[in-house]
Structures are given as structure tokens and as C-alpha cells.
Amino acid sequence: MKILVFTSLFPNNVSPNHGVFIRERVARVARHGTCEVKVVAPAPYYPPIQWGARHQFARIAHHEFQDDLEVFHPRFFMIPKVGMATYGWTMYRSLLPAMKKIAAQFDFDLIDAHYMYPDCAAAVMLGRYFGKPVVVSARGSDINLFSHFPFIRRLMCRAMQGADRIIAVSRALQEAMIDMGIDSWKIAVIPNGVDASMFHPIDRRAARAQLQLPDGKIVLSVGALRPLKGFDIMIRAWRRLLDRRKGDSLHLLIAGEGESREELRALIRELSLEKHVRLIGAIPHNELNLYFNAADLFCLASSREGWPNVLMEALACGTPVVATKVGGIPEIITSPELGLFAPRTPRDFSDVLENALQKEWHRNVLVEYTQRMTWERTAAQVVGLFESVLKPQSQ
């Protein structure tokens, strides 16, 4: 079975953390034994000039190997923030010549597309052109955000209706697609997994010593520095918590990069939190284990989520969670022994964080919970779905 993965949300030589959760699933499918996999991870065209925030796109390799995965990065044309309704079609038309060359060398059986718009929309058109079935995977923000734009919603619905099957990473996402008019039989819920060889418990003191972190209580959060992640809420909650617990050694670490960095830095200065809140930048995925283990708690204040892998990774390290009750998060935090939910306000977050920092947690319970939620299990379910799609065609 030859699988062609199609998604712009995939790591590359310039952005190694970009879409790493998709690479995790794809890599396990490739190792399953019945699949030969190649990846087409298109990048927007940008001229080779050092100008503008998007000039990094020009540095993305056109072809690379990531461990055993062969990855192509053909370019597609788009004008940022203009003509969004055309992105699926322009991606399809821009990439068709490159796809023909790849197809001539790799006669794939099925397209495995990720991120509903524009990637999956383009993939469905490519599937129609090559006469191949297409399985599309919804990731969260694609459905949760773009469904609020009426015309883009219609384009996503057309893509989902044109796909052979759909994978949702959570039941919440499945329900959102059903609400958009997609038949429930077409949607399989296959959550992401967690890599226990990468994320596992180590001694907290040893982790802090290696990272040169202070004593006291440490709360960690990881994500793109964007408004929907709610880092401003967490920072304001931290100010309230410190005001109540004067003299305590309390530290908030925020890992990630994004558009809100300077705004968050200004908020930290405004609230006089320079000694207690640190923006530590983007951390390579394979180094996050140390930070999860160094923390007493992991915190997520998002306004929407699909299936946030960082929660699974924190739990796999034995680190409990405080999070908002949105998207697929309640499907991960299924017990107060794993974590606590907080309404999305500074007051509520500070109250729940204080309770969580005082609560006695059992690391072994958290670790055992994640041990059955592996990427290998996810890959087996995905491969089974691919086989079911291809089976009628082989008879």
C-alpha cells in the first residue's frame, strides 16, 4: 500500500517544530510494515530576497529526508490575507506539475491529507485528477476557526463530501463536522498518540538542575504565542496568585514563539513579573521532556483546541494539568486525578492553579494512563481505515 501524505503543516529544515504531531503519526504509519509512505509538504512561494516576515519560506529545502521519510516541499502561489477563498484552487493548480512528477516515480494508492483548508480541499481535487481515493484529517483549528467564515465553511464541506473518509482527532471535532452537515458514518475518531520513549518521567530535581531552573513551584505552558492560547490570562492569573501567596517561590515558564511575544513581554513588565514569568522561546520537540519533568504543573488556557498533544506529553512525564474545558481536552482529562479544569478568566485560573499546586498528585497514575495511548495504536487504526477505503477497489 503506497500512501502519499499531503499537508503544508509538516516540519521542515527551517521550522522543525511545525506540525510535529502530523509527522509523528505519519512516521508510525510508515513503520507499520504494510505502507510505503512519501510526503508532499508544500510551502508558499516566496522570492529569494531577505525582506518581509515571510522570507523564511524561500529557505525551505525543496527535497529532504527526515529519518526514513522522503519529503518534498514544492511551492504554491498565494497572496497572504487576500483571496482566501481561492487558496484551495491555487494550491491545486500550482502543485499539479510537481505532483505529476512525483506520481510518475511513486504510483501512490491513496492520498492522506491533513488540515481541512486549503490543504484537504486541494488534495480532494488532486485525488479526482489522479483517480485516487483521499482520506482527510481535521486537526482542530481548521474546523473550529474556519467554520465561522461562511464561504470557507462551504469549501470545507465540499472537500469533506468529496473525500472518501474523514479522520477527526476528537469526538468534539466529529460533532462539529456533523453539525456542518457531514454524515457521521464518514467520520472516524482516531486520537493522536504519545511517544513514551521521548516523554517519560525523570527525577524532577535532576531535570531542574540540567535546565538551571530555580527551586519552588514551577508551572509550564507550551504553545504558539497567539491570542487564542490565552497566555495573557495565565500571566494575569500569576499576578493574582503571587499577591495571595507573598513570599512563595512561584515561577511560570512559557515556551513558544509567535505574534504576541512583544505584547506578552510588555504585560509581564506592566505587572512587575520579570522575576516570576519567563518567555523561554521555542523548544525543540525532543527537548521538551526535561521541561515537562521540571514542572509541578502544566497549564493550557486555550479558547479552542482539537487534541492538544502537549497535554498527553505532560501526563506521560507524570505532570498534572490545569486547562480550559474546550474541544478535545475533556476527552484527555477524564478524571480529577489527571488534572483540573479552569474557566478562562485570570481570577478562575489563579484559584484553580492554587488548588492544583496544593493537591497531592500521583505521578504513576498519570503515566499509566498514557501508556495505552501510543502512536503505534493510532497508526494501526489509521492503516486499518486506509485498508477499508482501498479494499472495495481491489475486489
Note the pLDDT of residue 281: 96
pTM of the model: 0.92
DSSP 205-245: HHHHHHHT--SSEEEEEES-SSGGG-HHHHHHHHHHHHHHS
Sheet strand arrangement including 297-300: 277-281, 250-255, 217-222, 297-300, 321-323, 339-341
* 128 C-beta neighbours (distance < 10 Å), count: 12
- Which DSSP state fits 194? B
pLDDT one-digit tens code per residue, 89-102: 999 999 999 999 99
With 0-12 CB in 10 A as exposed, 13-18 as middle and 19+ as buried, what is 126? Answer: buried
pLDDT one-digit tens code per residue, 292-340: 999 999 999 999 999 999 999 999 999 999 999 999 999 999 999 999 9
Q: For residues 112 and 3, is the Cβ–Cβ distance under 8 A?
A: yes
Q: For residues 283 and 310, is the Cβ–Cβ distance under 8 A?
A: no
pLDDT one-digit tens code per residue, 171-186: 999 999 999 999 999 9
b (16+ CB within 10 A) / e for 192-207: bbbbbebbbbeebeeb
Note the pLDDT of residue 282: 94
Note the pLDDT of residue 106: 97
Q: What are the angstrom distances between the C-alpha of 174 and each of 122, 251, 307?
A: 21, 37, 12
For the chain, domains (ranges, CATH) are 2-193+374-394 (3.40.50.2000), 204-370 (3.40.50.2000)
Peptide bond into 227 cis (omega under 30): no
pLDDT in tens, the chain (395 residues): 999 999 999 999 999 999 999 999 999 999 988 899 999 999 998 877 777 667 788 889 999 999 999 999 999 998 777 778 899 999 999 999 999 999 999 999 999 999 999 999 999 999 999 999 999 999 887 888 888 788 899 999 999 999 999 999 999 999 999 999 999 999 999 999 999 999 999 999 999 999 999 989 999 999 999 999 999 999 999 999 999 988 789 999 999 999 999 999 999 999 999 999 999 999 999 999 999 999 999 999 999 999 999 999 999 999 999 999 999 999 999 999 999 999 999 999 999 999 999 999 999 999 999 999 999 999 999 999 999 999 866 54
pLDDT one-digit tens code per residue, 239-257: 999 999 887 899 999 999 9
Note the pLDDT of residue 358: 95
Note the pLDDT of residue 393: 60
